């Protein structure tokens, strides 16, 4: 049997991680006033203390118009001191600090984004639900510049890496996907045209990082629904990302407005999701239509590995595998298949110290994939139900019934 390299250091562009593990960007919902909080710092410090190679602060918006949630981070100069405190605390535990940068595009509300949500193409986004403004060429240029500015802020705040969110149906992905991009100008039509906005954002990010920190991107291997991007186009996109000079790629899939569970698998706990919502009409809408609008996709360990191996064959740059890493043997299998790093989301929501536990012989994480954390994250914050002892009865029942369906 090949010796495991899980606990060996490895380079990611200009930085070296102490091992092959990265906490994936999993939205925390812990940023009151769109700024870092003690709660955010405590969570990421616990992951860092728990042995991770690098932890990723999730889903920070590059501009006000890029915010989809009220408790989401918004990159702006006045939060640099708090971000610096956060990276210092992570570094003190021996881990590297990364931050995911994105723009939600049409997945927002005027109240949160300060403006009518924007997109590659306008119209009505039923999932949010909201009308959407078609971005002008000038506005497109400004958002690409915002990516660069956000990277400059990340460098000043002491981050070691930035992860550009180019997947999951957020703005860059809305430009890439023929489902959301109906433009007739140089940003629409052919795949090459649809990649133009992505290229602009990545180039701005790379030039702002200037080799001082690592720049990686999270990209889709498939959008996960009929009419979205399939694997061949996604391989072309990944090759384009590689040629732009990124230090690594995170391979994921799914589209929040069409196939959200394709990202994480399992089912969305609708009772949990609606229980925490405070907008009454959305609550009732989701209660009625949530099951249809958010279709379940079965969970299995390493659910993206088959597709990810096809990308491994076509690319040279370091690849970061994400999706269903729940056991030591599974993670070793991924690393043995030629991936340089693994990202984990739910395993570390459940057990922030899962990496050290594996070091001490633990085989499997305690996450049951009922996805309570996801249902809750949309309205309050990211928490694992296993750490809460004041859950209402109806939510306990929902968790039990999902577990029963999953044979747990
Ligand atoms: C609570 C939660 C929040 C998430 N938020 C984000 C996010 O902000 N950005 C992102 O790219 N992926 C997000 N994801 C997806 C994860 O990063 C990861 O791709 C997915 O959960 C699969 O990994 P896992 O099986 O290890 O959980 C989220 C996942 C969870 C569970």
26 lines ligand 1 (CB under 6 A): yes
**What is the DSSP-derived secondary structure letter of residue 33?**
G
pLDDT digits (tens, 9 = 90+) for 164-184: 999 999 999 999 999 999 999
pLDDT of residue 1 exceeding 70: no
Q: Which of 26, 269, 272, 358 is the pocket-test mutation for ligand 1 (most atoms within 8 Å of CB)?
A: 26
pLDDT digits (tens, 9 = 90+) for 21-60: 999 999 999 999 999 999 999 999 999 999 999 999 999 9
Euclidean distance between CA atoms 288 and 82, whole angstroms? 41
Query: How far is the centre of ligand 1, averaged over its atoms, from the C-alpha of 59 (Å)?
Result: 10
pTM: 0.96
Q: Could you tell me the two tokens for 179?
A: 């489902």
pLDDT of residue 127 exceeding 80: no
Closest ligand 1 atom to the C-alpha of 377?
Answer: 1
Q: Higher-confidence residue: 293 or 307?
A: 307
- Among 275, 312, 232, CA closest to 399: 275
The answer to whether residue 59 is catalytic is: no
User: Residues 260-264: what's their mean pLDDT?
Assistant: 95
324 lines ligand 1 (CB under 6 A): yes
Q: Which residue lies with its CA nearest to atom 5 of ligand 1?
A: 26
Task: State residue 281's pLDDT score.
Answer: 80
234 lines ligand 1 (CB under 6 A): no
- What is the set of domains in the chain, with CATH numbers? 10-265+300-367 (3.20.20.70)
When pLDDT is cut at 50, 70 and 90, the band that residue 90 belongs to is very high
344 lines ligand 1 (CB under 6 A): yes
Closest ligand 1 atom to the C-alpha of 168?
Answer: 11
When pLDDT is cut at 50, 70 and 90, the band that residue 405 belongs to is confident
Q: Higher-confidence residue: 171 or 408?
A: 171
Distances (CA, A) of 381 to 43, 71, 117, 237, 385: 11, 8, 23, 33, 12
Q: Higher-confidence residue: 282 or 73?
A: 73
**What is the DSSP-derived secondary structure letter of residue 66?**
G
């Amino acid at each position: 049997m090949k010796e495991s390299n899980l606990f060996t250091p490895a380079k990611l562009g200009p930085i070296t991680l102490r091992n092959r593990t990265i906490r994936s960007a999993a939205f925390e919902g812990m940023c009151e006033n769109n700024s870092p909080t003690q709660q955010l710092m405590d969570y990421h410090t616990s992951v860092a203390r728990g042995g991770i190679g690098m932890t990723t602060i999730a889903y920070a918006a590059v501009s006000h118009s890029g915010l989809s949630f009220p408790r989401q981070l918004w990159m702006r100069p006045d939060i640099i001191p708090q971000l610096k405190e956060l990276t210092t605390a992570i570094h003190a535990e021996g881990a590297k600090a990364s931050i995911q940068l994105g723009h939600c595009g049409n997945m927002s509300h005027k109240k949160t984004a300060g403006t009518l949500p924007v997109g590659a193409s306008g119209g009505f986004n039923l999932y949010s639900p909201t009308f959407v403004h078609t971005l002008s060429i000038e506005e497109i240029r400004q958002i690409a510049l915002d990516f660069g500015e956000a990277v400059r802020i990340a460098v000043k705040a002491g981050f070691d890496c930035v992860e550009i969110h180019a997947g999951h149906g957020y703005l860059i992905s809305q430009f890439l996907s023929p489902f959301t991009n109906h433009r007739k100008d140089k940003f629409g039509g052919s795949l090459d045209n649809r990649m133009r906005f992505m290229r602009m954002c990545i180039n701005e990010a790379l030039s702002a990082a200037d080799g001082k920190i690592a720049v990686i991107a999270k990209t889709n291997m498939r959008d996960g629904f009929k009419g979205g991007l399939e694997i061949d186009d996604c391989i072309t996109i990944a090759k384009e990302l590689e040629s732009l000079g990124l230090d690594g790629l995170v391979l994921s899939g799914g589209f929040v407005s069409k196939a959200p569970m394709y990202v994480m698998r399992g089912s969305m706990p609708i009772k949990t999701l609606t229980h925490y919502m405070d907008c009454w009409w959305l609550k009732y809408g989701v209660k009625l239509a949530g099951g249809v609008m958010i279709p379940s996709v079965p969970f299995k360990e390493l659910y993206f590995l088959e597709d990810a191996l096809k990308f491994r064959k076509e690319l040279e740059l370091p690849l970061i595998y994400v999706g269903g890493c729940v056991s030591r043997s599974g993670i070793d299998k991924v690393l043995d298949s030629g991936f340089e790093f693994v990202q984990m989301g739910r395993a570390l929501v459940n057990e922030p110290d899962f990496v050290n536990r594996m070091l001490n012989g633990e085989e499997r994480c305690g996450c049951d994939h009922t996805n309570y954390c996801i249902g809750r994250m949309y309205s309050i914050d990211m928490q694992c139900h296993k750490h809460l002892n004041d859950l209402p009865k109806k939510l306990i029942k929902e968790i039990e019934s999902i577990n029963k369906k999953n044979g747990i």
